[in-house]
Structure 1
């Protein structure tokens, strides 16, 4: 039994992308160290929750990687339907979060006494369903037809619209960027993106005037007025405090578990949206640079897996995962540095949040599945060509054709 397990493990490791696994392991350990520091300073339990989510996520990643991603994608219609029902259920019956300035979101449901953000799971499902949609059009040679591009946009904007229905603007932005990265990777013509960009420019003033609530407007304006004492105490409070924490660490930081501002909880939501400020204060510029390097290497490796994929379907899935990591990294770090408005987007794999972490590991499992099947064709492993044989009628002996 033990030998069989060891052989299975060795066989898995030979097929898996070990460098990708090592990067994920380094990111996971780094995240747990930062959250352990927050727990030690504030008496919370984010570390334990993250550790449990990481263990579940890693197990899920291994299971998903052992499955053929193409077989999973065959159920894309069923997956899409289930996701729509889940998102609508969450918007109607999920836990409501109310905040100042008109914040009103229902993006979480309760499972076994714990909250779960359904959009995190739907992001991974979108990797599958949208990749399958693109793959079908690519095979049919219809990816350049205007009506098909419009249908692709409708596919994506269903997800974006459901996030807005929940009051979760940050998740909607992530879905939109996934749509862009996967569509660009699939070869959708640039003219369609130019048209989309023009439409956004036209719609933005209307949205600002008649649709966007006051708290979202204040987040945009705070970026440009962060030196105003009034803004520092209101709409720009988080960003102002986060920037101070990052700057206080200087080159090497105050030391892990030694952050005075971490202990005083000066930055609200430092365990999730502002985990980057914890790294900045306690580990300084070096610690922040390490986060950037690890995430950059992860994204580069994902694109490398995409380039080696056996088919377009696997390639598109990798582009989707890349879109999640790239957008969330840029937006989260940008808002921590007060370069972008606050959007409630977490730093992938680093921020506390069991549902976010566990679901990202599932996306990672899909990328590993693509890598492990890069030498297969049509779901079957390529084999060496065997010599042909025929049976001679006269003597009944087989002869080999070279």
Structure 2
């Protein structure tokens, strides 16, 4: 007996797949299952792809903020995303309240705690070093071990003021005293310069907004990737899209693809405004941009599933395996034209449109509008 039986599906590699789910876990996985009874059966009739549930590793979904906020379910299961990770919206002052809201969501919600106790109440949360208190961050990590999956430091001029690289040094110190939890670093305007930032970051740290088109980005004045960026990549820093309102540029992304600098993690940096007005809109639109760049579906899906699950230490998510959480995304890819826009107003025409059809979170299935 299964709670949910999904039949006649396909993997992104084109292989046939059927899945049996019981008590929120994947308990059977074959090309063809012999199923006598199931509480609910979904027959995809070979028309939908099944992947592990999409994971958006950079969102802003603490609904009580005034700068960057959204509803976890609006950007989550309703868009085919089974897990969202809020990237530093809250610090020690507000994360307990965020947690109480997050556990009410149908989407899986995790958080990166901001090293500033205030979180992103104001744009410049790291301009006052008194906001960075190691004990407060450590207490949050200890008190919410199943919710806090990492640490966030926004290291750009508009955030750190005149403090230079010091906030990042403090973030690394906090990280090392807390079992080396993943550290995500936001980049943008200088100072500090990107080479300073990458020299301090280490293997497993996550550099978000990697394809921005700003002067302090990954490209040099000749339009090539900086050598120090390659050095950061080779020492194991993880590059993350973190699209956002102002942090994805087609020219930068295309050059990175030409030079074969991979970006292992897809994320949106989504909040209500760039969801409603663009250029982000939703997770699948960012996936379409990766397909446009020339990544195959089989190359791209791990960027949205396996890779973020490993980066943020989510051991039972990100893969279709027996014993793993029954978080699945069922979607289609259609050959039709669509205009895509980046953060700087540049447009491209794609011929591949990604549409989520159903979301399964912890074994509970949600049929979306297109399904």
TM-score (norm 1): 0.27
- Structure number with the higher helix fraction is 1
Q: Higher relative contact order by CA 8 Å / sep ≥ 6: 1 or 2?
A: 1
- Structure number with the higher strand fraction is 2
Bigger Rg, structure 1 or 2: 1
